[in-house]
Amino acid sequence: MELHKTKHDEVYYYFLKNGDKRYLYRHKYYDNLGKRKEKKESGFVTEKEALQALIEVKAALLNGQVKQVEHSQMTVSQWLDIWYETYSSGWEITSRLQRENAIKYQMKPLLGKYKLNSLDKTTYIRAYINVLKQKYSDRTVALFHRLFKIAINAAVEDEIIPRNRFQKVTVEINDELENVLTAAELDLFLQTAKQYENITNYTFILLLAFTGLRKGEALGLRWKHINFDEKTLTVECTRDRHGCRTPKTKNSYRKIPIDQVLVNQLLTYQRWCVETKFSYGMKLDKENDFIFISYQDGVPIAENMAFYSFKRILRILEKEKTPIREISPHGLRHTHATILINQGIPVKTIADRLGNTPDMIHNVYAHSFKEYELKAVSAFSGSLTFGGASGAASGAN
């Protein structure tokens, strides 16, 4: 391609094969290591456009934004690869898998082709947020939005782009949780589990319902974590198909009280575990053995056990014409929190019990708090015999 000088230094024009005229700029500079480099960009329709782009590059270099200049053509897809390869080794395994899947199935397919430094807020909402909303719940879309912001913040910290344009983009979430049971529905669910599920599955479900533990926290419980005398349960690890590890946050480490119903069931279950282990030629270690074991071989249960157990229970209830709304293991955590809120338990107490912060409790269960506030208003007026509601006496002043 033959270049021709213009009246502006470092701006040139050239001709395409079809005879159309185009412009480009070429600018030499030194990078942060003192190495001489050249920045060039072509395809401008007018000389003015090429000159403006050159001025912006020079201004960025004068401001010390060398990396932004060097990576001005980087796509979102390229940055996501760099981000993952650079930082993933320091992430918790669950975070790594979550981000890896989001990159592969959501971020790259929807945003990968865009240039990192020119992806604007409107395009982001239209091409990413709005498309995701057609397929996923608001909470899931909010999660994918948060993960992308984490990736973009890393690009800002690495001086690849000047700022995160999407920081103030919000995803509205319906306050009302769907994955939650009423107290009456929970009663029915537990009764059905006790009647139809094996003792391991029933005890696991009862523990989730009565403690609000996350599924992974329950799977990670060992017998040493239950103090039968003090009626307490300690959470200090979580387990899934990738193994056992420490909880993600310091709030997740906690000791919570448990009631006699759960204590009695755990004692019954422990005796069953002793017998089951013995039948397979093993001895129960009442300190270090995981609590929940399979009746088939005496080894710790798999994490997908609860999924199939819940499906069976819901099918039975539907067959018996007493169907309840769909519920997942994590839904029992929401149910536990919602019931406590409706009983007027302080937010700090609920947060400590669930291993959350009070702010998280307020955000996740906002709808329940609104309902509780309405109950509080009715409870106050209902406790008085004062007839002020019918209007003040005419002589009042």
Residue 111: how many other CB atoms lie within 10 Å: 21
Q: Class of the 76-157 domain? A: mainly alpha
- Is this prediction's pTM over 0.85? no
Closest to 139 measured CA to CA, from 180, 100, 111, 194: 180
DSSP string, 275-294: HHHHHTT----TTTSBS-B-
Residue 175 has a pLDDT of 52
Alpha helices in the chain (DSSP H): 47-62, 66-70, 76-87, 93-102, 108-111, 121-124, 130-133, 138-157, 183-196, 199-211, 215-219, 260-279, 305-319, 329-342, 347-354, 358-364, 366-382
- Determine the pLDDT at residue 396: 46
* Residue 193 CB neighbours (<10 A): 22
What pLDDT is recorded for position 61?
64
Residue 19 phi/psi, 5° resolution?
A: 95, -5
Give the pLDDT confidence score for residue 269 in this predicted structure: 98
CA dist 177 and 365 (Å) reads: 8
d(CA 40, CA 38) in angstroms, rounded, equals 6
The rounded distance, in Å, linking the Cα atoms of 205 and 207 is 5
What is the percentage of the chain residues whose pLDDT exceeds 90?
60
Query: What's the distance, CA 280 to chain centroid?
Result: 40
pLDDT along the chain (397 residues), means of 10: 86 90 86 76 90 81 65 85 92 90 96 92 96 90 95 88 91 73 95 97 98 96 98 95 86 95 98 96 96 95 94 94 90 94 91 92 77 68 60 48
Which backbone phi and psi does 6 adopt, to 5 degrees? -110, -175
- Encode pLDDT of 318-367 as tens digits: 999 888 888 999 999 999 999 999 888 999 999 999 999 988 888 788 77
Coil vs helix vs strand at 337:
helix
Tokens (6 digits) for 256: 């919570």
Q: Which CATH superfamily is domain 183-333 in?
A: Intergrase catalytic core (1.10.443.10)
What does the block give as tokens for 98? 């979550």
Boundaries of every domain in the chain = 4-70, 76-157, 183-333
CB 254 within 8 A of CB 234: yes
Tokens of 165: 């344009």
